[in-house]
A and B are shown apart, each in its own frame.
Chain A
Amino acid sequence: MNNRFSWFNATSLTFGFAFLYIPILLLVIFSFNESKLVTVWAGWSTKWYGSLLQNQSLKDAAWVTIRVAFVSATVATVLGTLAALALTRMGRFRGRTLFSGMIFAPLVMPDVITGLSLLLVFVALNIDRGIGTITLAHITFTMCYAAVVVQARLQDFDKSVEEAAMDLGATPVRTFFQVTLPIIAPSVVSAWLLAFTLSLDDLVIASFTTGPGATTLPMKIYSQVRLGVTPEINAISTILIGIVTFGVLCAAYFSRRQTQRAERERRLAFGATD
Protein backbone atom coordinates (compact mmCIF):
# COMPACT_ATOMS: atom_id res chain seq x y z
CA MET A 1 0.00 0.00 0.00
CA ASN A 2 1.29 3.49 -0.77
CA ASN A 3 1.84 5.92 2.00
CA ARG A 4 -0.13 8.96 0.97
CA PHE A 5 -2.38 9.35 3.97
CA SER A 6 -5.26 11.57 2.85
CA TRP A 7 -7.83 13.65 4.69
CA PHE A 8 -10.39 11.05 3.79
CA ASN A 9 -8.32 8.37 5.54
CA ALA A 10 -7.84 10.52 8.63
CA THR A 11 -11.56 11.32 8.84
CA SER A 12 -12.67 7.71 8.48
CA LEU A 13 -10.22 6.59 11.16
CA THR A 14 -11.31 9.37 13.52
CA PHE A 15 -15.01 8.59 13.15
CA GLY A 16 -14.40 4.84 13.25
CA PHE A 17 -12.44 4.97 16.49
CA ALA A 18 -14.93 7.43 17.98
CA PHE A 19 -17.68 4.89 17.23
CA LEU A 20 -15.62 2.11 18.85
CA TYR A 21 -14.57 4.00 21.96
CA ILE A 22 -17.30 6.52 22.90
CA PRO A 23 -19.72 3.87 24.27
CA ILE A 24 -16.96 2.36 26.42
CA LEU A 25 -15.79 5.78 27.64
CA LEU A 26 -19.34 6.82 28.61
CA LEU A 27 -19.73 3.59 30.54
CA VAL A 28 -16.45 4.11 32.41
CA ILE A 29 -17.15 7.78 33.20
CA PHE A 30 -20.65 7.10 34.49
CA SER A 31 -19.41 4.39 36.83
CA PHE A 32 -18.02 7.29 38.87
CA ASN A 33 -21.37 9.09 38.92
CA GLU A 34 -22.87 10.10 42.26
CA SER A 35 -26.45 9.72 41.00
CA LYS A 36 -28.30 6.45 40.71
CA LEU A 37 -29.60 7.60 37.31
CA VAL A 38 -27.04 6.36 34.84
CA THR A 39 -27.43 9.13 32.27
CA VAL A 40 -27.64 12.15 34.58
CA TRP A 41 -24.35 13.45 35.92
CA ALA A 42 -24.37 14.45 39.60
CA GLY A 43 -20.69 14.70 40.49
CA TRP A 44 -17.81 12.32 41.08
CA SER A 45 -18.11 9.43 43.47
CA THR A 46 -16.64 6.00 44.00
CA LYS A 47 -19.54 4.77 46.09
CA TRP A 48 -20.62 2.17 43.50
CA TYR A 49 -17.22 0.51 43.79
CA GLY A 50 -17.71 0.43 47.55
CA SER A 51 -21.09 -1.24 47.21
CA LEU A 52 -19.55 -3.85 44.90
CA LEU A 53 -17.26 -4.93 47.71
CA GLN A 54 -20.32 -5.53 49.91
CA ASN A 55 -21.99 -7.73 47.30
CA GLN A 56 -21.06 -11.27 48.31
CA SER A 57 -22.86 -13.08 45.46
CA LEU A 58 -21.05 -10.91 42.91
CA LYS A 59 -17.70 -11.70 44.55
CA ASP A 60 -18.53 -15.43 44.52
CA ALA A 61 -19.40 -15.24 40.83
CA ALA A 62 -16.14 -13.41 40.11
CA TRP A 63 -14.17 -16.12 41.89
CA VAL A 64 -15.93 -18.91 39.95
CA THR A 65 -15.24 -17.05 36.68
CA ILE A 66 -11.56 -16.54 37.43
CA ARG A 67 -11.01 -20.19 38.38
CA VAL A 68 -12.79 -21.42 35.24
CA ALA A 69 -10.88 -18.98 33.03
CA PHE A 70 -7.50 -19.86 34.54
CA VAL A 71 -7.86 -23.63 34.20
CA SER A 72 -9.53 -23.57 30.80
CA ALA A 73 -7.03 -21.08 29.33
CA THR A 74 -4.11 -23.22 30.51
CA VAL A 75 -5.44 -26.52 29.14
CA ALA A 76 -6.68 -24.80 25.95
CA THR A 77 -3.24 -23.30 25.31
CA VAL A 78 -1.54 -26.70 25.60
CA LEU A 79 -4.09 -28.40 23.35
CA GLY A 80 -4.16 -25.43 20.97
CA THR A 81 -0.37 -25.42 20.63
CA LEU A 82 -0.41 -29.16 19.85
CA ALA A 83 -3.16 -28.55 17.29
CA ALA A 84 -1.14 -25.73 15.72
CA LEU A 85 1.90 -28.05 15.47
CA ALA A 86 -0.32 -30.73 13.91
CA LEU A 87 -1.55 -28.26 11.29
CA THR A 88 1.82 -26.80 10.38
CA ARG A 89 4.51 -29.41 11.10
CA MET A 90 3.01 -32.87 10.67
CA GLY A 91 2.45 -32.88 6.92
CA ARG A 92 -0.49 -34.88 5.67
CA PHE A 93 -2.12 -37.31 8.05
CA ARG A 94 -5.30 -39.31 8.01
CA GLY A 95 -8.33 -37.17 8.80
CA ARG A 96 -6.48 -33.88 8.32
CA THR A 97 -9.40 -32.12 6.58
CA LEU A 98 -11.76 -33.11 9.38
CA PHE A 99 -9.20 -31.93 11.91
CA SER A 100 -8.77 -28.50 10.37
CA GLY A 101 -12.55 -28.27 10.03
CA MET A 102 -12.92 -28.90 13.74
CA ILE A 103 -10.34 -26.17 14.46
CA PHE A 104 -11.91 -23.48 12.26
CA ALA A 105 -15.64 -24.22 12.62
CA PRO A 106 -15.87 -23.37 16.35
CA LEU A 107 -14.51 -19.87 15.58
CA VAL A 108 -17.70 -18.96 13.74
CA MET A 109 -20.17 -21.44 15.25
CA PRO A 110 -23.08 -19.60 16.93
CA ASP A 111 -22.74 -19.89 20.71
CA VAL A 112 -26.26 -21.27 21.14
CA ILE A 113 -25.39 -24.34 19.04
CA THR A 114 -22.05 -24.95 20.82
CA GLY A 115 -23.70 -24.51 24.21
CA LEU A 116 -26.61 -26.82 23.53
CA SER A 117 -24.49 -29.57 21.97
CA LEU A 118 -21.96 -29.52 24.82
CA LEU A 119 -24.72 -29.70 27.40
CA LEU A 120 -26.20 -32.77 25.68
CA VAL A 121 -22.80 -34.49 25.73
CA PHE A 122 -22.47 -33.87 29.45
CA VAL A 123 -25.96 -35.28 30.00
CA ALA A 124 -25.16 -38.29 27.79
CA LEU A 125 -21.88 -38.95 29.62
CA ASN A 126 -23.65 -38.47 32.95
CA ILE A 127 -21.22 -35.78 34.13
CA ASP A 128 -22.49 -33.65 37.02
CA ARG A 129 -23.01 -30.14 35.76
CA GLY A 130 -21.27 -27.23 37.46
CA ILE A 131 -17.89 -25.50 37.39
CA GLY A 132 -16.29 -28.61 35.87
CA THR A 133 -18.57 -28.74 32.87
CA ILE A 134 -18.24 -24.99 32.22
CA THR A 135 -14.46 -25.48 32.25
CA LEU A 136 -14.62 -28.42 29.79
CA ALA A 137 -16.88 -26.37 27.51
CA HIS A 138 -14.57 -23.36 27.64
CA ILE A 139 -11.50 -25.48 26.87
CA THR A 140 -13.27 -26.78 23.77
CA PHE A 141 -14.03 -23.45 22.15
CA THR A 142 -11.01 -21.45 23.35
CA MET A 143 -8.47 -24.08 22.22
CA CYS A 144 -9.44 -23.33 18.62
CA TYR A 145 -8.63 -19.64 19.07
CA ALA A 146 -5.35 -20.62 20.75
CA ALA A 147 -4.52 -22.94 17.84
CA VAL A 148 -5.11 -20.19 15.28
CA VAL A 149 -2.92 -17.68 17.16
CA VAL A 150 0.01 -20.10 17.60
CA GLN A 151 -0.34 -21.46 14.07
CA ALA A 152 0.06 -17.98 12.59
CA ARG A 153 3.43 -17.67 14.34
CA LEU A 154 4.56 -21.23 13.50
CA GLN A 155 4.06 -20.76 9.80
CA ASP A 156 5.99 -17.55 9.44
CA PHE A 157 9.20 -18.42 11.21
CA ASP A 158 12.26 -19.83 9.56
CA LYS A 159 11.94 -23.62 9.66
CA SER A 160 15.64 -24.09 8.88
CA VAL A 161 16.57 -23.50 12.55
CA GLU A 162 14.45 -26.50 13.53
CA GLU A 163 15.99 -28.56 10.75
CA ALA A 164 19.47 -27.51 11.86
CA ALA A 165 18.77 -28.67 15.43
CA MET A 166 17.55 -32.05 14.17
CA ASP A 167 20.55 -32.41 11.84
CA LEU A 168 22.79 -31.84 14.83
CA GLY A 169 21.12 -34.79 16.53
CA ALA A 170 18.45 -33.19 18.73
CA THR A 171 15.33 -35.29 19.21
CA PRO A 172 12.02 -33.78 18.03
CA VAL A 173 10.98 -33.23 21.65
CA ARG A 174 14.24 -31.49 22.50
CA THR A 175 14.05 -29.41 19.32
CA PHE A 176 10.58 -28.30 20.31
CA PHE A 177 11.53 -27.25 23.83
CA GLN A 178 14.89 -25.68 23.02
CA VAL A 179 14.31 -24.16 19.59
CA THR A 180 10.64 -23.91 18.62
CA LEU A 181 9.05 -23.00 21.95
CA PRO A 182 11.34 -20.03 22.72
CA ILE A 183 10.60 -18.63 19.26
CA ILE A 184 6.83 -19.03 19.47
CA ALA A 185 6.65 -18.09 23.19
CA PRO A 186 5.05 -14.64 22.66
CA SER A 187 2.27 -16.18 20.58
CA VAL A 188 1.72 -18.87 23.21
CA VAL A 189 1.38 -16.12 25.82
CA SER A 190 -1.11 -14.20 23.69
CA ALA A 191 -3.01 -17.43 22.99
CA TRP A 192 -3.33 -17.94 26.75
CA LEU A 193 -4.48 -14.35 27.30
CA LEU A 194 -7.01 -14.62 24.48
CA ALA A 195 -8.36 -17.92 25.84
CA PHE A 196 -8.53 -16.38 29.32
CA THR A 197 -10.52 -13.32 28.24
CA LEU A 198 -12.83 -15.34 25.99
CA SER A 199 -13.64 -17.58 28.94
CA LEU A 200 -14.07 -14.53 31.18
CA ASP A 201 -16.58 -13.03 28.71
CA ASP A 202 -18.67 -16.02 27.78
CA LEU A 203 -22.33 -15.91 28.72
CA VAL A 204 -24.19 -18.23 26.36
CA ILE A 205 -22.05 -21.38 26.54
CA ALA A 206 -21.70 -21.08 30.32
CA SER A 207 -25.47 -20.66 30.73
CA PHE A 208 -26.12 -23.89 28.85
CA THR A 209 -23.45 -25.98 30.53
CA THR A 210 -23.73 -24.77 34.11
CA GLY A 211 -25.39 -26.62 36.94
CA PRO A 212 -26.80 -25.70 40.32
CA GLY A 213 -24.58 -23.40 42.33
CA ALA A 214 -22.18 -22.39 39.56
CA THR A 215 -22.88 -18.83 38.46
CA THR A 216 -20.27 -16.94 36.47
CA LEU A 217 -19.85 -13.18 36.42
CA PRO A 218 -21.33 -12.72 32.91
CA MET A 219 -24.39 -14.72 33.99
CA LYS A 220 -24.72 -12.47 37.04
CA ILE A 221 -24.27 -9.31 34.95
CA TYR A 222 -26.76 -10.54 32.35
CA SER A 223 -29.49 -11.20 34.90
CA GLN A 224 -29.01 -7.70 36.34
CA VAL A 225 -28.81 -5.99 32.93
CA ARG A 226 -32.19 -7.48 32.03
CA LEU A 227 -33.63 -5.55 34.97
CA GLY A 228 -32.14 -2.26 33.77
CA VAL A 229 -29.00 -0.15 33.71
CA THR A 230 -27.45 0.40 37.14
CA PRO A 231 -24.27 2.24 38.19
CA GLU A 232 -23.13 -0.94 39.96
CA ILE A 233 -22.90 -2.81 36.65
CA ASN A 234 -21.00 0.18 35.23
CA ALA A 235 -18.52 -0.17 38.08
CA ILE A 236 -17.94 -3.91 37.65
CA SER A 237 -17.68 -3.43 33.86
CA THR A 238 -15.07 -0.72 34.38
CA ILE A 239 -13.01 -3.06 36.55
CA LEU A 240 -13.17 -5.80 33.90
CA ILE A 241 -12.28 -3.34 31.12
CA GLY A 242 -9.36 -2.12 33.21
CA ILE A 243 -8.01 -5.65 33.74
CA VAL A 244 -8.32 -6.59 30.07
CA THR A 245 -6.74 -3.32 28.87
CA PHE A 246 -3.82 -3.79 31.23
CA GLY A 247 -3.35 -7.38 30.07
CA VAL A 248 -3.47 -6.52 26.38
CA LEU A 249 -1.06 -3.61 26.79
CA CYS A 250 1.41 -5.83 28.69
CA ALA A 251 1.18 -8.54 26.04
CA ALA A 252 1.75 -5.99 23.28
CA TYR A 253 4.75 -4.52 25.11
CA PHE A 254 6.39 -7.93 25.63
CA SER A 255 5.74 -9.14 22.11
CA ARG A 256 7.17 -5.92 20.65
CA ARG A 257 10.29 -6.26 22.78
CA GLN A 258 10.60 -9.89 21.73
CA THR A 259 10.40 -9.07 18.00
CA GLN A 260 12.95 -6.29 18.44
CA ARG A 261 15.34 -8.68 20.15
CA ALA A 262 14.79 -11.38 17.52
CA GLU A 263 15.44 -8.81 14.80
CA ARG A 264 18.68 -7.74 16.48
CA GLU A 265 19.86 -11.36 16.85
CA ARG A 266 19.01 -12.06 13.25
CA ARG A 267 21.09 -9.09 12.16
CA LEU A 268 24.02 -10.25 14.25
CA ALA A 269 23.76 -13.82 12.97
CA PHE A 270 23.38 -12.97 9.32
CA GLY A 271 25.20 -9.64 9.47
CA ALA A 272 28.16 -10.76 7.39
CA THR A 273 26.11 -12.06 4.48
CA ASP A 274 23.35 -9.44 4.41
Chain B
Amino acid sequence: MSTNTANYRRWYVIGPPYLWLLVFFLIPFFIVFKLSLSDSAIAIPPYVPIFSWSTGIWNFLKQLDFENYTFLFSDPLYVNAYLSSLKIAAISTLLTLLVAYPMAYGMAKAPKAWQPTLMMLVILPFWTSFLIRIYAWIAILKPEGFLSLFLMKLGFISEPLQIMNTTTAVYIGIVYSYLPFMILPLYASLEKINPALLEAAQDLGSQPWRAFWQITFPLSLPGVLAGCLLVFIPAVGEFVIPDLLGGSDTLMIGKTLWSEFFSNRDWPLASAVAVILLLVLIIPIVLFQRQQEAVREAGR
Protein backbone atom coordinates (compact mmCIF):
# COMPACT_ATOMS: atom_id res chain seq x y z
CA MET B 1 0.00 0.00 0.00
CA SER B 2 1.43 3.37 -0.93
CA THR B 3 1.66 6.15 1.64
CA ASN B 4 -0.85 8.12 -0.34
CA THR B 5 -3.64 5.58 0.00
CA ALA B 6 -2.77 5.13 3.67
CA ASN B 7 -3.02 8.88 4.08
CA TYR B 8 -6.32 8.89 2.28
CA ARG B 9 -7.65 5.93 4.23
CA ARG B 10 -7.00 7.35 7.66
CA TRP B 11 -9.66 9.95 6.91
CA TYR B 12 -12.21 7.12 7.22
CA VAL B 13 -11.28 7.19 10.91
CA ILE B 14 -10.73 10.91 11.39
CA GLY B 15 -13.53 12.04 9.10
CA PRO B 16 -16.77 11.02 10.86
CA PRO B 17 -16.02 12.50 14.32
CA TYR B 18 -14.37 15.54 12.71
CA LEU B 19 -17.35 16.29 10.50
CA TRP B 20 -19.79 15.67 13.33
CA LEU B 21 -18.02 18.12 15.63
CA LEU B 22 -17.67 20.71 12.86
CA VAL B 23 -21.40 20.62 12.15
CA PHE B 24 -22.68 20.33 15.72
CA PHE B 25 -19.99 22.04 17.77
CA LEU B 26 -18.00 24.60 15.78
CA ILE B 27 -20.47 25.93 13.20
CA PRO B 28 -23.15 26.49 15.89
CA PHE B 29 -20.95 29.17 17.46
CA PHE B 30 -20.99 31.13 14.22
CA ILE B 31 -24.76 30.83 14.12
CA VAL B 32 -24.97 32.05 17.72
CA PHE B 33 -22.77 35.00 16.78
CA LYS B 34 -24.86 35.78 13.71
CA LEU B 35 -28.08 35.65 15.68
CA SER B 36 -26.64 37.90 18.38
CA LEU B 37 -26.48 40.64 15.74
CA SER B 38 -30.14 40.44 14.78
CA ASP B 39 -33.26 41.89 16.38
CA SER B 40 -35.85 39.98 18.34
CA ALA B 41 -39.43 39.75 17.11
CA ILE B 42 -42.69 38.10 18.00
CA ALA B 43 -42.52 35.27 15.51
CA ILE B 44 -41.51 31.63 15.20
CA PRO B 45 -38.52 31.47 15.57
CA PRO B 46 -38.58 34.75 17.53
CA TYR B 47 -36.09 36.89 15.66
CA VAL B 48 -35.67 38.88 12.47
CA PRO B 49 -33.09 37.24 10.26
CA ILE B 50 -30.33 39.76 9.79
CA PHE B 51 -28.81 38.42 6.67
CA SER B 52 -30.17 36.79 3.61
CA TRP B 53 -28.49 36.49 0.23
CA SER B 54 -31.17 38.62 -1.40
CA THR B 55 -30.36 41.74 0.64
CA GLY B 56 -26.65 41.41 -0.10
CA ILE B 57 -23.59 41.96 2.05
CA TRP B 58 -23.58 45.74 1.78
CA ASN B 59 -27.09 46.15 3.24
CA PHE B 60 -26.18 43.69 5.93
CA LEU B 61 -23.13 45.71 6.94
CA LYS B 62 -25.04 48.99 6.76
CA GLN B 63 -27.69 47.95 9.23
CA LEU B 64 -25.24 46.28 11.61
CA ASP B 65 -25.54 48.14 14.93
CA PHE B 66 -24.44 45.66 17.62
CA GLU B 67 -27.58 46.73 19.43
CA ASN B 68 -27.69 43.68 21.71
CA TYR B 69 -24.09 44.22 22.78
CA THR B 70 -24.49 47.91 23.53
CA PHE B 71 -27.58 46.99 25.53
CA LEU B 72 -25.65 44.33 27.50
CA PHE B 73 -22.90 46.76 28.43
CA SER B 74 -25.19 49.67 29.24
CA ASP B 75 -27.35 47.67 31.67
CA PRO B 76 -25.47 47.11 34.95
CA LEU B 77 -27.58 43.99 35.57
CA TYR B 78 -25.69 42.05 32.89
CA VAL B 79 -22.24 43.38 33.72
CA ASN B 80 -22.82 42.55 37.39
CA ALA B 81 -24.06 39.08 36.48
CA TYR B 82 -20.79 38.38 34.59
CA LEU B 83 -18.64 39.75 37.41
CA SER B 84 -20.55 37.95 40.13
CA SER B 85 -20.42 34.64 38.17
CA LEU B 86 -16.63 34.98 37.89
CA LYS B 87 -16.37 35.77 41.60
CA ILE B 88 -18.65 32.92 42.70
CA ALA B 89 -16.82 30.48 40.39
CA ALA B 90 -13.39 31.61 41.63
CA ILE B 91 -14.30 31.35 45.32
CA SER B 92 -15.96 27.97 44.87
CA THR B 93 -12.97 26.67 42.88
CA LEU B 94 -10.69 27.64 45.76
CA LEU B 95 -13.04 26.05 48.33
CA THR B 96 -13.23 22.87 46.22
CA LEU B 97 -9.43 22.75 46.09
CA LEU B 98 -9.23 23.13 49.88
CA VAL B 99 -11.66 20.24 50.41
CA ALA B 100 -10.27 18.04 47.62
CA TYR B 101 -6.54 18.32 48.31
CA PRO B 102 -6.50 16.59 51.71
CA MET B 103 -8.75 13.88 50.28
CA ALA B 104 -6.60 13.28 47.19
CA TYR B 105 -3.50 13.33 49.42
CA GLY B 106 -5.07 10.78 51.75
CA MET B 107 -6.01 8.57 48.79
CA ALA B 108 -2.48 8.70 47.35
CA LYS B 109 -1.01 7.76 50.74
CA ALA B 110 -3.54 5.01 51.46
CA PRO B 111 -2.39 1.38 51.14
CA LYS B 112 -2.20 0.35 47.45
CA ALA B 113 -4.88 -2.30 47.94
CA TRP B 114 -7.46 0.31 49.06
CA GLN B 115 -6.84 2.75 46.25
CA PRO B 116 -9.15 1.25 43.57
CA THR B 117 -11.99 1.18 46.12
CA LEU B 118 -11.35 4.78 47.19
CA MET B 119 -11.29 5.81 43.50
CA MET B 120 -14.60 4.04 43.05
CA LEU B 121 -16.08 5.92 46.04
CA VAL B 122 -15.05 9.25 44.47
CA ILE B 123 -16.36 8.37 41.01
CA LEU B 124 -19.72 6.97 42.12
CA PRO B 125 -21.31 10.31 43.14
CA PHE B 126 -19.99 11.85 39.91
CA TRP B 127 -22.01 9.29 37.93
CA THR B 128 -25.11 10.00 39.97
CA SER B 129 -27.41 12.63 38.52
CA PHE B 130 -26.30 16.20 39.08
CA LEU B 131 -29.88 17.35 39.49
CA ILE B 132 -30.60 14.71 42.13
CA ARG B 133 -27.50 15.61 44.12
CA ILE B 134 -28.50 19.28 44.15
CA TYR B 135 -32.03 18.28 45.08
CA ALA B 136 -30.66 16.33 48.05
CA TRP B 137 -29.16 19.55 49.43
CA ILE B 138 -32.49 21.38 49.41
CA ALA B 139 -33.80 19.05 52.13
CA ILE B 140 -30.61 19.64 54.14
CA LEU B 141 -30.28 23.40 53.82
CA LYS B 142 -33.85 24.68 54.01
CA PRO B 143 -34.82 26.36 57.32
CA GLU B 144 -36.78 23.31 58.55
CA GLY B 145 -34.23 20.97 56.95
CA PHE B 146 -31.82 18.39 58.37
CA LEU B 147 -28.93 20.76 59.12
CA SER B 148 -30.98 23.19 61.19
CA LEU B 149 -32.83 20.37 62.98
CA PHE B 150 -29.55 18.64 63.79
CA LEU B 151 -27.78 21.76 65.07
CA MET B 152 -30.81 22.82 67.11
CA LYS B 153 -31.02 19.38 68.70
CA LEU B 154 -27.36 19.63 69.69
CA GLY B 155 -28.04 23.12 71.06
CA PHE B 156 -25.57 24.97 68.85
CA ILE B 157 -28.25 27.26 67.48
CA SER B 158 -31.69 28.25 68.70
CA GLU B 159 -33.04 29.67 65.42
CA PRO B 160 -33.14 27.80 62.09
CA LEU B 161 -30.24 28.66 59.79
CA GLN B 162 -30.95 30.84 56.77
CA ILE B 163 -28.67 29.18 54.21
CA MET B 164 -31.14 28.10 51.56
CA ASN B 165 -31.63 30.66 48.76
CA THR B 166 -28.38 32.47 49.54
CA THR B 167 -25.02 32.59 47.81
CA THR B 168 -23.60 30.37 50.59
CA ALA B 169 -25.92 27.60 49.41
CA VAL B 170 -24.57 28.08 45.87
CA TYR B 171 -20.99 27.70 47.16
CA ILE B 172 -21.93 24.48 48.97
CA GLY B 173 -23.71 23.20 45.85
CA ILE B 174 -20.76 23.87 43.54
CA VAL B 175 -18.16 22.42 45.93
CA TYR B 176 -20.30 19.33 46.40
CA SER B 177 -21.10 18.67 42.73
CA TYR B 178 -17.65 19.44 41.34
CA LEU B 179 -15.57 17.75 44.07
CA PRO B 180 -14.85 14.57 42.04
CA PHE B 181 -13.57 16.70 39.09
CA MET B 182 -10.99 18.20 41.45
CA ILE B 183 -10.02 15.04 43.34
CA LEU B 184 -9.33 12.85 40.29
CA PRO B 185 -6.61 14.99 38.58
CA LEU B 186 -5.08 15.82 41.98
CA TYR B 187 -4.91 12.17 42.90
CA ALA B 188 -3.45 11.27 39.49
CA SER B 189 -0.57 13.74 39.94
CA LEU B 190 0.03 12.99 43.65
CA GLU B 191 0.07 9.25 43.10
CA LYS B 192 2.86 9.53 40.51
CA ILE B 193 5.29 11.27 42.90
CA ASN B 194 8.32 9.09 43.55
CA PRO B 195 8.49 8.22 47.27
CA ALA B 196 12.31 8.25 47.05
CA LEU B 197 12.19 12.06 46.77
CA LEU B 198 10.40 12.40 50.10
CA GLU B 199 12.63 9.81 51.73
CA ALA B 200 15.69 11.71 50.52
CA ALA B 201 14.30 14.97 51.95
CA GLN B 202 13.66 13.23 55.25
CA ASP B 203 17.14 11.67 55.34
CA LEU B 204 18.60 15.12 54.79
CA GLY B 205 16.71 16.37 57.85
CA SER B 206 13.74 18.14 56.29
CA GLN B 207 10.61 18.50 58.41
CA PRO B 208 7.56 16.72 56.94
CA TRP B 209 5.70 20.02 56.56
CA ARG B 210 8.62 21.60 54.67
CA ALA B 211 9.03 18.49 52.52
CA PHE B 212 5.37 18.79 51.62
CA TRP B 213 5.62 22.43 50.51
CA GLN B 214 8.94 22.05 48.73
CA ILE B 215 8.43 18.68 47.02
CA THR B 216 4.90 17.28 47.08
CA PHE B 217 2.97 20.47 46.42
CA PRO B 218 5.08 21.75 43.48
CA LEU B 219 4.96 18.30 41.86
CA SER B 220 1.17 18.21 42.21
CA LEU B 221 0.69 21.56 40.45
CA PRO B 222 -0.33 20.06 37.06
CA GLY B 223 -3.15 18.28 38.90
CA VAL B 224 -4.09 21.47 40.74
CA LEU B 225 -4.28 23.36 37.43
CA ALA B 226 -6.31 20.69 35.67
CA GLY B 227 -8.71 20.36 38.61
CA CYS B 228 -9.19 24.11 38.98
CA LEU B 229 -9.97 24.52 35.25
CA LEU B 230 -12.38 21.58 35.32
CA VAL B 231 -14.27 23.26 38.16
CA PHE B 232 -13.94 26.94 37.28
CA ILE B 233 -15.01 26.93 33.61
CA PRO B 234 -18.33 25.10 33.93
CA ALA B 235 -19.06 26.81 37.27
CA VAL B 236 -19.01 30.26 35.62
CA GLY B 237 -21.90 29.24 33.35
CA GLU B 238 -23.67 27.09 35.94
CA PHE B 239 -27.47 27.22 35.81
CA VAL B 240 -29.01 24.44 37.92
CA ILE B 241 -27.18 25.23 41.18
CA PRO B 242 -27.92 28.99 41.40
CA ASP B 243 -31.46 28.35 40.18
CA LEU B 244 -32.33 25.71 42.79
CA LEU B 245 -30.14 26.70 45.75
CA GLY B 246 -29.48 30.40 45.17
CA GLY B 247 -31.78 33.28 45.99
CA SER B 248 -33.10 36.13 43.93
CA ASP B 249 -29.99 38.16 44.83
CA THR B 250 -27.64 35.45 43.52
CA LEU B 251 -26.67 36.82 40.12
CA MET B 252 -25.19 34.28 37.75
CA ILE B 253 -24.90 34.62 34.02
CA GLY B 254 -26.11 31.07 33.25
CA LYS B 255 -29.36 31.94 35.00
CA THR B 256 -29.59 35.24 33.10
CA LEU B 257 -29.09 33.46 29.76
CA TRP B 258 -31.72 30.88 30.68
CA SER B 259 -34.34 33.47 31.60
CA GLU B 260 -33.60 35.62 28.53
CA PHE B 261 -34.16 32.55 26.42
CA PHE B 262 -37.06 30.79 28.15
CA SER B 263 -38.96 33.57 29.98
CA ASN B 264 -38.34 36.61 27.76
CA ARG B 265 -37.95 34.59 24.56
CA ASP B 266 -35.31 37.06 23.43
CA TRP B 267 -33.10 34.72 21.41
CA PRO B 268 -30.80 37.41 19.97
CA LEU B 269 -30.03 38.82 23.43
CA ALA B 270 -29.50 35.33 24.85
CA SER B 271 -27.05 34.71 21.99
CA ALA B 272 -25.18 37.94 22.77
CA VAL B 273 -24.94 36.84 26.44
CA ALA B 274 -23.53 33.49 25.24
CA VAL B 275 -20.98 35.13 22.91
CA ILE B 276 -19.61 37.36 25.70
CA LEU B 277 -19.55 34.42 28.11
CA LEU B 278 -17.58 32.40 25.58
CA LEU B 279 -15.11 35.26 25.10
CA VAL B 280 -14.63 35.47 28.88
CA LEU B 281 -13.99 31.72 29.04
CA ILE B 282 -11.86 31.32 25.91
CA ILE B 283 -8.51 31.75 27.68
CA PRO B 284 -9.23 29.18 30.43
CA ILE B 285 -10.62 26.79 27.77
CA VAL B 286 -7.49 27.06 25.59
CA LEU B 287 -5.36 26.60 28.72
CA PHE B 288 -7.33 23.47 29.55
CA GLN B 289 -6.91 22.04 26.04
CA ARG B 290 -3.12 22.71 26.11
CA GLN B 291 -2.88 21.05 29.48
CA GLN B 292 -4.79 17.96 28.29
CA GLU B 293 -2.59 17.74 25.18
CA ALA B 294 0.52 17.96 27.38
CA VAL B 295 -0.76 15.11 29.56
CA ARG B 296 -1.45 13.08 26.42
CA GLU B 297 2.03 13.74 25.00
CA ALA B 298 3.64 12.80 28.32
CA GLY B 299 1.61 9.59 28.35
CA ARG B 300 3.15 8.11 25.20
Q: Residues on A close to B: CB < 8 A?
A: 1-6, 8-10, 12-13, 16-17, 19-21, 23-24, 26-27, 30, 38-39, 79-80, 82-83, 85-90, 93, 95, 98-113, 116-118, 120-121, 123-124, 136-137, 139-140, 143, 147, 151-152, 155-156, 172, 194, 197, 200-201, 203-204, 207-208, 218, 221-222, 225-226, 229, 233, 237, 240-241, 244-245, 247-248, 252, 256
Output the least CB separation between B100 and chain A (Å): 8
A sample of 15 more A-B contacts (CB under 8 A), given A5-B106, A156-B299, is: A2-B109, A2-B198, A17-B103, A20-B121, A38-B139, A102-B25, A106-B25, A110-B233, A110-B236, A120-B28, A120-B32, A140-B24, A218-B129, A222-B131, A237-B135
- Can you pick out 29 interface pairs between chain A and chain B where the beta carbons lie within 8 Å of each other? A2-B198, A3-B195, A6-B109, A9-B102, A12-B102, A16-B99, A17-B103, A24-B125, A39-B144, A90-B10, A93-B11, A100-B289, A104-B288, A106-B25, A110-B233, A110-B236, A110-B238, A110-B239, A110-B281, A113-B277, A117-B28, A117-B29, A120-B35, A143-B17, A155-B300, A225-B244, A233-B135, A245-B128, A252-B120
Judged by a CB distance under 8 angstroms, whether B191 is at the interface is: yes
- Please, which residues of chain B bring their CB within 8 A of the CB of A117? 25, 28-29, 31-32, 274
| Partner pick for B20 among A93, A140, A248, CB 8 A cutoff | A140
- Given the contacts A26-B136, A79-B16, A108-B230, A200 and B125 also touching, CB distance less than 8 Å: no
- The docked-state distance in angstroms from the alpha carbon of A123 to that of B113 is 53
Output the least CB separation between B274 and chain A (Å): 5
- Given the contacts A108-B229, A121-B24, A225-B131, A1 and B191 also touching, CB distance less than 8 Å: yes
- Please, which residues of chain B bring their CB within 8 A of the CB of A140? 20-21, 24-25
Q: Which residue in chain A gives the minimum CB-CB distance to B194?
A: A1
- Given the contacts A108-B288, A110-B234, A116 and B261 also touching, CB distance less than 8 Å: yes
Please indicate which of the listed interface residues B129, B176, B288 has the most CB atoms of chain A within 10 Å of its own CB. B129
Cβ–Cβ contact A112 & B257, under 8 A = yes
| Partner pick for B26 among A85, A102, A203, CB 8 A cutoff | A102
* B 172-216 binary contact with A (CB < 8 Å = 1; else 0): 000010010000000000110101001100000000000000000
Output the least CB separation between B61 and chain A (Å): 21
- Please, which residues of chain A bring their CB within 8 A of the CB of B153? none
Cβ–Cβ contact A116 & B32, under 8 A = yes
Cβ–Cβ contact A39 & B99, under 8 A = no
- Please, which residues of chain A bring their CB within 8 A of the CB of B199? 2
Main secondary structure of the interface of B (DSSP, over half): helix
- Please, which residues of chain B bring their CB within 8 A of the CB of A1? 108-109, 190-191, 193, 195, 198
- The docked-state distance in angstroms from the alpha carbon of A17 to that of B123 is 11
Q: Which residue in chain A gives the minimum CB-CB distance to B141?
A: A23
- The docked-state distance in angstroms from the alpha carbon of A200 to that of B128 is 10
Judged by a CB distance under 8 angstroms, whether B251 is at the interface is: no
- The docked-state distance in angstroms from the alpha carbon of A156 to that of B295 is 12
Output the least CB separation between A150 and chain B (Å): 11
Cβ–Cβ contact A110 & B237, under 8 A = yes
- Please, which residues of chain B bring their CB within 8 A of the CB of A252? 116, 120
Cβ–Cβ contact B136 & A82, under 8 A = no
